[in-house]
Amino acid sequence: MLSVEHLDAYYGDLQVLWDLSLEVHQGELAALIGSNGSGKTTLLRVIMGLIPSTRGRLTYRDTLLNRRTPHEIVNLGISMVPESRRVFPKMTVLANLEMGAFPAKARKERAKSLERVYEIFPVLKERSRQFAGSLSGGEQQMLAIGRALMSKNDFLLLDELSLGLAPLIVQGIFEVVSQINKTGISILLVEQNVPVTLRIAHRAYVLESGRIVKQDEAKRLLNDPYVREAYLGIDETT
């Protein structure tokens, strides 16, 4: 569904991504893992049209994404859950969710989509009249995911879902992500929480200093000596 080929990207004069290539297939949960500052979020911002690429080709369902605006990319079928949730704190939970139904196709099915989100996250229905800023971190993450689902798009970019959340909440959020993927929605998950990510993903890429250094089936990477030492702290030579 999504293809990134030989991508370079900069912040000002600083090059952040170097000759990066990856792809996400129909119905797949693909992961991009790496440490903080490796360029993971930059890639998602380039895909969404928030940062221009200086070289390379991005396509979604054979449609070129280069030089398209963010709202055009959303209308093509891609939604993003940004790092740190980015909910609208002074708007109600319900209003935040309704903001997600921006594409024309989503407006027609807003009520149906809302019920679906409430089924996945019952707490959002209970809190529907509260201001989003009054929710806990985990609840705000649920709200951010629910807002993306309201778009009726079939491709999600998820950025650092575990950031700032307790381990038990993280486990629940990732279980929901896996369930959403099983409904047919394709996902590119960007994460620092390597163990949990590799357990739910189908395939994964390892990003270091803006370059893909490894790619394989997620289960194989979970047992890869380099990944185990660099990201899990397991040195199998001792």
Instruction: Assign residue 4 the CATH number of its domain.
Output: 3.40.50.300
Strands 53-60 and 63-64: antiparallel
**Does residue 37 sit within a domain?**
yes
Q: Is 207 part of any domain? A: yes
Query: Could you give the number of structural domains in the chain?
Result: 1
Looking at residue 15, its pLDDT comes to 96
Quote the tokens at residue 161: 């879902």
Does a structural domain hold residue 38? yes
Nearest Cα neighbor of 147 from 85, 90, 230, 105 is 85
In a domain, 192, yes or no: yes
Q: Which residues fall within 8 angstroms of residue 66, CB to CB, at 6 or more apart? A: 53, 56, 57, 58
Query: Are 154 and 166 in contact, with CB atoms under 8 Å apart?
Result: no
Per-residue pLDDT tens, the chain, 238 aa: give them.
999 999 999 998 999 999 999 999 999 999 999 988 899 999 999 999 999 999 999 999 999 999 999 999 999 999 999 988 889 999 999 999 999 998 888 999 999 999 999 999 999 999 999 999 999 999 999 999 999 999 999 999 999 999 888 888 999 999 999 999 999 999 999 998 999 999 999 999 999 999 999 999 999 999 999 999 998 887 665 5
Q: Which phi-psi region, left, alpha or beta, contains residue 164 (left: φ > 0; alpha: ψ -120 to 50)?
A: left
Q: Which candidate, 167, 141, 143, 181, places its Cα nearest to that of 28?
A: 181
Residue 188 near residue 156 (C-beta atoms within 8 A): yes
- Give me the domain span that covers residue 63: 1-77+188-238
Whole-angstrom distance, CA of residue 171 vs CA of residue 176: 9
